């Protein structure tokens, strides 16, 4: 599949079920062997779709939800917004909250296009940097983000899932005028 067949657009309420499918499959694929299988197996598309609807309904306009679509099918989803410190205060930076692509669309440009769209939104909002958290053991995701210009900034955080430690590493990337000038959304 070529990147030309890919459309990046804003997510709408009608997309919540499909985005939930992408997110649940993304978790089950990306985190297999890193998180308890019972936790991954218990994930529900219906519950996740309800959370997506609640997030969109309560959005104050500072969070950007984008979908990657091919031939009318949502194959990826990502979102970003303001980064908050440990006390919950905005820092001025942006955070890439989530980025998932259906496993059969890995390596097709969907993740890169979503990342570019999210970087563009964050740069246009005036954020100087974008930060993200990635599971320390998730080598595939770490390579992906490093190719996108992110670098570990030394911050690490504990993360516990059903009693299993799954520590995270923070990555950072400076935003520029070139990021803000990325192609517009379809």
Runs of H (alpha helix) within the chain: 16-30, 37-42, 45-57, 110-124, 139-147, 177-180
Q: What is the pLDDT of residue 67?
A: 98
What 8-state DSSP symbol labels residue 11? -
Domains of the chain in start order, with CATH, are: 3-180 (3.40.630.30)
**Placement of tokens 């516990």 in the chain:** 160
Q: Structure tokens of 39?
A: 């936790």
**pLDDT tens column, 139-158:** 999 999 999 999 999 999 98
**How does DSSP classify residue 35?**
B
3-class DSSP assignment, residue 137:
coil
Q: Which of 115, 108, 159, 114 is nearest to 137 (CA)?
A: 159
Give the SS3 label for residue 87.
Answer: coil
Per-residue pLDDT of the chain (186 residues; tens, 9 = 90+): 445 589 999 999 999 999 999 999 999 999 999 999 999 999 999 999 999 999 888 888 899 999 999 999 999 999 999 999 888 888 999 999 999 999 999 999 999 999 999 999 999 999 999 999 999 999 999 999 999 999 999 999 988 999 999 999 999 999 988 888 776 665
The alpha carbon of residue 4 and the mean position of all alpha carbons in its chain are separated, in whole angstroms, by: 21
At 61 the pLDDT is 85
Distance CA 103, CA 93 (A): 30
User: In the 8-state DSSP scheme, what is residue 32?
Assistant: B
The residues near 42 (Cβ < 8 Å, ≥ 6 apart) are none
Distance CA 69, CA 97 (A): 19
Nearest to 155 by CA among 129, 136, 179: 136
pLDDT digits 0-9 by tens, 38-53: 999 999 999 999 999 9
């Amino acid at each position: 599949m070529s990147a030309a067949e890919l459309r990046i657009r804003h997510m709408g309420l009608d997309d919540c079920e499909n985005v939930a499918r992408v997110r649940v499959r993304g978790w089950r694929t990306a985190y297999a062997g890193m998180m308890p299988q019972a936790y991954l197996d218990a994930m529900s598309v219906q519950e996740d779709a309800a959370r997506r609807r609640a997030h969109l309904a309560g959005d104050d306009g500072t969070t950007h939800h984008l979908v990657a679509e091919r031939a009318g099918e949502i194959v990826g989803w990502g979102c970003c917004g303001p980064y908050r410190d440990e006390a919950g205060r905005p820092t001025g930076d942006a955070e890439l909250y989530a980025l998932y692509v259906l496993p059969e669309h890995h390596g097709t440009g969907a993740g890169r296009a979503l990342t570019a769209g999210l970087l563009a939104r964050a740069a246009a909002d005036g954020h100087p940097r974008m930060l993200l958290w990635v599971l320390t053991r998730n080598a595939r995701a770490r390579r992906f983000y490093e190719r996108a210009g992110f670098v570990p900034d030394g911050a690490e955080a504990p993360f516990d899932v059903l009693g299993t430690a799954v520590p995270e590493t923070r990555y950072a990337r400076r935003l520029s005028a070139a990021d803000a000038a990325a192609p517009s959304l379809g």
